[in-house]
Each structure stands twice: as C-alpha cells, then as structure tokens.
Amino acid sequence: MRHRSSCRRCRQRHKRCLTNPGSPQCNECELAGELCYYEVKPQFRFFHRSSFRRRRSKPQSKEASPSPAQGRNSSSSPNQLIDFRDTLPHQSPNIGTERNNTNKSASNRQRRVSYDDLAHHPWPSPMADPPSLHDPQTPSPQAIFHVTTQSDYPNQATIDFTHSSPSTSPVSLGVPAPSSTPLSFTEREAYLMGVYIHQVSLSPDSCDEERHFATTVPKLALEEPIVLYGIFALASRFDEIQTKTQSDVESTQYHNQCLELLIDALSKPPETYGVPLLTAVVLSRLYEEFDVGKDTQFYHLKGTRNLLGFNAITKSAQNGGLAEAVCWLHLHQVIYISMVHKQKPDLYLEIFKTFQSYDGNSDRSHVNRAVYLLARVLREFFSGSSDISQVWTQLEKELDDWYRGIPRSFQVLYETPINMTAGRTFPSIWMLSSLQVMALEYYYASRAIICLYRCNSGGGQAFGFDAMKARKSNEESILYYLRRSIGLARGNEYFPGAYYMPSYVLFLCKHFSFCFCEIFGLHHEGGHLIRDPIERDHCVQFLSDMADRVPRESYKLIQTLQKEWAELDGLGN
C-alpha cells in the first residue's frame, strides 16, 4: 500500500514509500530499523465569510464526507485563514507502543546517520534508533563522529570524530540547519570542557589578552581529536585534584588516548607538524605538572623544545595567534622547571624576541618582555660561571628600563601595608588584571634572583666585613621582593595563577646557600632568609592556601621548610 505522502526517510532518499497492510512502518524504514515519520504540511486557503456560510447552508448527503470546515467558529472575521490539513496516513492506535517494542534493542546501539539527515535535524537527540549496518546509504566510520554514551563512561573513555544522530522529537519549523555537523558530548565530557574553559585556562591565559587557550583551543579541539583528548585529560586531572578524588583512572585513559595520537603524529614527516600537534604537546606538559611527585622526566617539555626547532612551527609562531601563545606558555613551563629543579633553561631564548607580541606597547607585550628577562636571568644564574659581572649589570639595566617603561595600568590600585603587631606579615596588593599581576611577579622574581647571586658573590668579595654587609643587604632585598610577590597573590585571589611564582621563589630561596656553595665553593654561614616565627607560619599558611586554590601539591615543600627551619634553629643564627 502506498501513502499519499512519503515518510521523511523515503522522501530524503527519493524512494517509493510502500507499507504492508497493518504495518506501522514503511518497508524502507522497517529494513533500516528506524521509526517512520510522516510530516504533514498545512495548506491554507482564503474564504469569504459569506460564501462560507452558503456552503454550510447547503444540504449534504449522508454518504458525503464531512466538510473540513465543519466545527469552525462561525463568528470568525472575514477573510480569515482556515487550516485544511491532509488526512494523516493510516496508523495503528498503539503505534507508539509498537515502535518502542520493535526498536527496543536498537535504541541501545550507537546510531549513524548521513549528512542529509543531519541537515534536516539540527538538534540531535541521543535516543534515536540506528539504521541497519547493511544500509548502503550508511556512511563509513571515517565520516562518523561518535562520542561514548554515559553508560560506557569511564570504562571506555574513547571519543571518535563522528556525527551525532538526528532527533526523534518533532523538528521546529523555521529553524535553519547549522552550517556544520552538530556535535554531541556526554554529560561528563561537556562538564570537563566547561572545567577547562572556565578554570584550567585561567593560568595558561594569564599573560594573554586574547585568551587563546579559553577561546581558540576549544574550537580547535572540535576539529582535532589530539587536542580534544588533551583537554579532557587536563580537565579530568584538575577535577580529580580539586575534588580530592583518589582514583585517576579517567584522566589516565584520556591521557593515554592523547599519547597514542601524539606518537602517530610524530611518526609522520616534519612537514606535517602544525599548531594542533604543538598545542597537544603543551597541554600534555600541563598534565605532567599537575603530578609533582612524578614530574621528573619532562618528556613533553623536551618534545615542545624539539618542535620549536622546525621551521614550520617557528614561522607559524612568528605570525602570531595560537602558535605564539603556545610558545609563550612553553617558556613559562621552562621557567618553572628551572626554578624548582635548579637547572639552566634548556631553550633557545632569542627566538622569542622575533615574535609579534614581544615588541609593542600593549599590556601583553610588557608581560612577555618581563617573562623573557626572567628566563635570561635564570640562564645566567645557573650557568656555573662566576665571572659574569658585566652580564648581571646589563640585566639589571634592562630590568630598570622595563620598570620605568610600564604603562599606568601596571600601577598598584591599592596596597595594605605590613603590620606585624596585627599579625599581617605580608602586604595585600591589588592590581587591575592578571596581566599586571604576572608582570610584576616576574619582575620581582628577576630582582630576587639577581640579589641571590649578589648575596653569595659578596659584591665581588668572598670574605670579610664588606662581603657580609653586602650579603645582609641582599638578603633584605630578597625578602622584600618575596613579600611583594606573596602580597600580589593575596590581593588578587580571583586569579589562582598568582600563587605559582611566589612558591617558586620561596622554593629557590630555600636552596640558595647550598646551591651556591656547590657552584662557587663559598663558605656557608648558616641561617635562613625567613627567620621570624610569625613570618614562617604565614609562609606555611600561604602554601596551604595555594594547595586549595591551584592543582599543585605543596605539602612536601611545607614539610621540607619546617624540617630545615628546625635544624637551623638548633644550630643558632
């Protein structure tokens, strides 16, 4: 039996819509295992009220079918629109039950749909039924975007680039279809994407006015699975640390999927390397940083350094955009490794002076120049040479020029001074935004490291009164810059990334005497920079607050500081 109008599936495929007597579905939909939909298009005709009444007044035979206008309100206005709909195709009264029973097993399978279907169904629904695997119209797996269902999560944390299924609900008339194929995540995956955009990306975008990691990277992830897995792994690990979840199965599964794609991409010729690969490596490095206890090999840090050696990556970064933002984030990561693990930055720093955002008067340019100067200071600090006084003088001059050249937006908005009697050992410094906070923190860190060098070099004299006087002066300067850094973090708690740099400086100052004794063979007098008991307690409190605000473990640093303070107090100052 053939209906007056074809179902949706047959009409899209230009096929004859035939239905067996008593069957709720046409033959094509029954073979495909899909529900059969008949869309009724309303037709409208104009009728004058007078003529309409004349038609109603004429007698009708009992055999004649009732007029479509019967039952209308006779008080309607002239020239009104009267809805005449085609008669619906014959269907069983229990069609909903029959369809559910027919497709009960098929509703649990992952369904695939052609691009034509998606164009007519812009808003997907995960409850639609799949077509038959033998349907010749079914596209290949390479043309499918598949996201795991919530029931499979997290045992199967796999996401393939497949298309979502069409909606089983009625399609709203007048809603245009999207220009591209709509995507569909599970509830957990959508949550992880939100965690990355609104929480994790705050730190990578701390020195970027355009916020590439919060805006451009998620868009890139919708096209590149290697970036998508990197985002899910990073956000999952962040969520595990914030919620103090003991299991890391979910983040590990996502990270392993990202690593598989990384290995496959790196096995290809260097000409194929691009921004997605560079972004995925940097995201994987952020994932490594979250696990401080196991962060000793720096695999992805070395991988990013190697990628920067290829001309395709370098030229892309010099043109600005996401590639440049990723490179600057890599420099931040190199600085972190240098300060925490006390080693020279393993990176060709001069390449950063060729980037677009290095020169200029924007806030981003001022921040990037401060980051670059700190990297140069660390390179000289851990170079192992004691005869570099001219280099340090040049670095100090460049830092002075940078500080004198900062715009008005980098000035302190408000500062709560130190008050030891009130128990306030650190100031509270309020800034305009995260860019100003990061710029001043990097500036103070550079100044503290230069004083750290001067403190142990004795101002050119290794022994005697002048050396001790210079050392005491530099120790006070280091404490001043450390307090300023902590004050920036305290005064701008809306930005969790402000907690990182003060902890790095504190960690570096903890080892400065022993480090320089090994490098220069100097005599160590004993004692520690932070000697006041109240100030020590506030340092511990600051590190404890840091562990609650950022995904970075600090209890080991707290234990080490308390142990060394006890030993130094036993030896005497």
**Which has more confidence, 178 or 470?**
470
Q: How many CB atoms lie within 10 A of CB 367?
A: 27
pLDDT confidence tier of residue 92, bands split at 50, 70 and 90: very low
Structure tokens belonging to residue 417: 């001074």
Domain count, the chain: 4
* Spatial CA neighbour of 502 closest among 514, 517, 487: 487
- Angle in degrees, 0-180, between the axes of helices 533-549 and 555-571, rounded to the nearest 10: 170
Q: Are residues 159 and 92 in the same domain?
A: no
H/E element, 545? helix 533-549
Q: List, for residues 332-360, the tens digit of each pLDDT value.
A: 988 988 888 888 888 888 999 999 889 88
* Spatial CA neighbour of 195 closest among 142, 232, 223: 232
Contact in structure between 478 and 528 (CB atoms under 8 Å):
no
Residue 139 per-residue DSSP state: P
**Domain termination site, one of 303, 330, 359:** 359
Q: Please say if the pLDDT value at position 233 is more than 80.
A: yes
Distance CA 24, CA 7 (A): 12
| Average pLDDT across the chain, whole number | 72
**Domain termination site, one of 130, 150, 184:** 184
pLDDT confidence tier of residue 245, bands split at 50, 70 and 90: confident
Q: Are residues 426 and 509 in the same domain?
A: yes
Residue 81 per-residue DSSP state: E
Phi, psi at 102, each rounded to 5°: -65, -35
**Domain termination site, one of 158, 184, 210:** 184
Q: Collect all residues with Cβ–Cβ distance below 8 Å to 194 and sequence separation of at least 6.
A: none
Q: What is the three-class DSSP state of 561?
A: helix
Position 65 in a domain: no
pLDDT of residue 527: 33
Most confident of 3-12, 322-331, 526-535, 555-564: 322-331
pLDDT confidence tier of residue 61, bands split at 50, 70 and 90: very low
Q: Are residues 381 and 517 in the same domain?
A: yes
H/E element, 330? helix 322-341
Phi, psi at 317, each rounded to 5°: -70, -35
Question: Where do the DSSP E strands lie in 302-372?
Answer: none
Position 514 in a domain: yes
Residue with tokens 């128990």: 423
**Which has more confidence, 116 or 60?**
60
Q: Are residues 375 and 353 in the same domain?
A: no
Q: Are residues 366 and 355 in the same domain?
A: no
pLDDT confidence tier of residue 532, bands split at 50, 70 and 90: confident
Position 140 in a domain: yes
Q: List, for residues 433-447, the tens digit of each pLDDT value.
A: 999 999 999 999 999
Structure tokens belonging to residue 464: 């005697």
Q: Are residues 410 and 266 in the same domain?
A: no
pLDDT of residue 160: 46
pTM (predicted TM-score): 0.65
* Spatial CA neighbour of 233 closest among 267, 193, 199: 193
pLDDT of residue 456: 66
Q: List, for residues 266-276, the tens digit of each pLDDT value.
A: 888 888 888 99
Position 355 in a domain: yes
pLDDT confidence tier of residue 27, bands split at 50, 70 and 90: confident
Distance CA 506, CA 501 (A): 9
pLDDT confidence tier of residue 26, bands split at 50, 70 and 90: confident
Give mean pLDDT, residues 149-157.
Answer: 39
Q: List, for residues 355-393, the tens digit of each pLDDT value.
A: 988 988 899 999 999 999 999 999 998 886 655 678 888
Structure tokens belonging to residue 339: 């300060």
Distance CA 279, CA 271 (A): 16
Give mean pLDDT, residues 117-133.
Answer: 36
Position 64 in a domain: no
525-535 core/surface letters (b: 16 or more CB in 10 A; e: else): eeebbbeeeeb
The boundaries of the domain holding residue 516 are 362-573
Q: Are residues 406 and 530 in the same domain?
A: yes
Give mean pLDDT, residues 442-461.
Answer: 80
Q: Are residues 517 and 419 in the same domain?
A: yes
Percent of the chain at pLDDT exceeding 90: 27
pLDDT confidence tier of residue 52, bands split at 50, 70 and 90: very low
Widest distance between CA atoms in the chain: 126
* Spatial CA neighbour of 157 closest among 186, 118, 127: 186
Position 175 in a domain: no
Residue with tokens 């020169």: 359
Give first-to-last CA distance, the chain, whole Å: 101
Q: Please say if the pLDDT value at position 213 is more than 90.
A: yes
Give mean pLDDT, residues 170-199.
Answer: 74
Give mean pLDDT, residues 112-135.
Answer: 36
Q: Are residues 142 and 12 in the same domain?
A: no
pLDDT confidence tier of residue 452, bands split at 50, 70 and 90: confident
Residue 151 per-residue DSSP state: G
Q: Collect all residues with Cβ–Cβ distance below 8 Å to 94 and sequence separation of at least 6.
A: none
Q: Are residues 543 and 394 in the same domain?
A: yes
Q: Please say if the pLDDT value at position 263 is more than 70.
A: yes
Q: Please say if the pLDDT value at position 100 is more than 60.
A: no
Q: Are residues 242 and 318 in the same domain?
A: yes
Q: Are residues 212 and 320 in the same domain?
A: yes
Least confident of 5-9, 41-45, 164-168, 305-309: 164-168
